[in-house]
Amino acid sequence: MSEMQEPGDAMAADVAKVSASQTSFAARVRNYFLTGLVVAGPLAITVWLVWSIITWVDDFVRPMIPPTYRPESYMPWPIPGTGLIIAFLVLTLLGFLTANLVGRTLVELGESLLSRMPIVRPIYKTMKQIFESLFSKTGSSFRKVALVEFPAPGMWSLVFLSQPPGGDVVKKLPQGEHVSAFMPCTPNPTTGFFFYVKRSDLIELDITVENAMTLLISAGMVQPDNEAQKKLASLAATAKAAQVARKTETVD
C-alpha cells in the first residue's frame, strides 16, 4: 500500500501551485504591458510631435490672416493645419516669384539693404548660408559619417562631416587636408562639438546619416541593419590596425 499524503504536504503543494499560477499570470501581464508600450509609445510621441508642429505653425500664421478669411469664422470649430497649408502655399509662391528676373532683382535689393545694417548683416548672412547648405541639392552638409579617435586613444566616436574649411582658417591650420566635423552628444544630437580634423585621421563609414543618428540617439541600443553592422565591424578592425601601425611607427 502506498503511503498516505500528509495534510500539510498537500496544503504546501496547493500553495506552490497557486504561487506559480500567480507568478505566471503576473509575468504575462508584464509582457502584455511592455508589448503595448512598445507599440503605442513611438506612435504617441510621433503624433504629439506632428501635432505640436502643426499647432505652432497655425498659431504663428493665424494672426496674419484677417478674421474674415479664417475658416473658424464660418465653422463651429477651427480646422487644424490651415496655417501649415497657407505657409506652404505662400513659400511656394515666394519661390516661384523669386525664380524670375523681377523676383531676383527684388531679393538682391533687399539683401543689399540688409548687408548695410551692422547688427542684422552677420545674422542674416549666417542664417542664409545655413539654410542654403541644409536645403540645397548640391550642398554637402552632413552627407558623410566618419569615426574619429576621441576622447582617448583606442576610443572612437561618430562624427558628421560637412564642408571643408575656407578663408583664413585654411591658412592657419597645419599642413594637410582638413574637414569640418561635428560630433553630436547622446541622446540630444542638437548639442555637441565642432572641430577641424585632418582627413587622414578619420575613417569614413559607408552608412547613412539617418542610421548614424539612430545609433547616437539610442546610445547604441538600436543598431543599424546587418549589412551596416558588418561594415562597422570591418571599419573598426581597420581602425584598430591603423592604431597599432601608428604605435609601431612611434616606437621605431
The pLDDT tens digits of the residues spanning 111-146 come to: 788 777 877 777 877 777 666 655 655 544 567 888
Q: What is the pLDDT of residue 142?
A: 67
Cα gap 89→95, rounded to integer Å: 10
Q: Say which CATH architecture domain 144-251 belongs to.
A: Roll (2.30)
Q: What is the pLDDT of residue 1?
A: 43
For the chain, what are the domain ranges? 144-251
Confidence band for 15, pLDDT divided at 50, 70 and 90: low
Confidence band for 239, pLDDT divided at 50, 70 and 90: low
Q: Note the pTM of the prediction, 2 decimals.
A: 0.51
| In the chain, % of residues over pLDDT 90 | 0
- DSSP H helical ranges for the chain: 7-61, 82-99, 101-114, 120-135, 168-172, 209-217, 226-251
Cα gap 137→89, rounded to integer Å: 21
Cα gap 47→2, rounded to integer Å: 67
- Element containing residue 149 per DSSP (H, E): strand 144-149
Q: What is the pLDDT of residue 246?
A: 66
**Could you report the per-residue pLDDT of 41-94, keeping only the tens digit for each?**
878 888 888 888 888 888 888 888 887 777 777 777 777 888 888 888 888 888
Q: Based on the number of CB atoms within 10 Å of its own CB, is 39 exposed (0-12), middle (13-18) or buried (19 or more)?
A: exposed
Q: What is the pLDDT of residue 2?
A: 45
Encoded amino acid at 103, one letter: G
Q: What is the mean pLDDT of residues 176-191?
A: 80
Q: What is the pLDDT of residue 200?
A: 83
Q: What is the pLDDT of residue 137?
A: 54
Q: What is the pLDDT of residue 86?
A: 84
Q: Give the distance, in angstroms, between the CA of residue 128 and the centroid of all CA atoms in the same chain.
A: 21
* Pair type for strands 156-161 and 192-198: unpaired
Confidence band for 250, pLDDT divided at 50, 70 and 90: low
Range with the lowest mean pLDDT among 35-39, 49-53, 133-137, 195-199?
Answer: 133-137
pLDDT, mean over the chain: 75
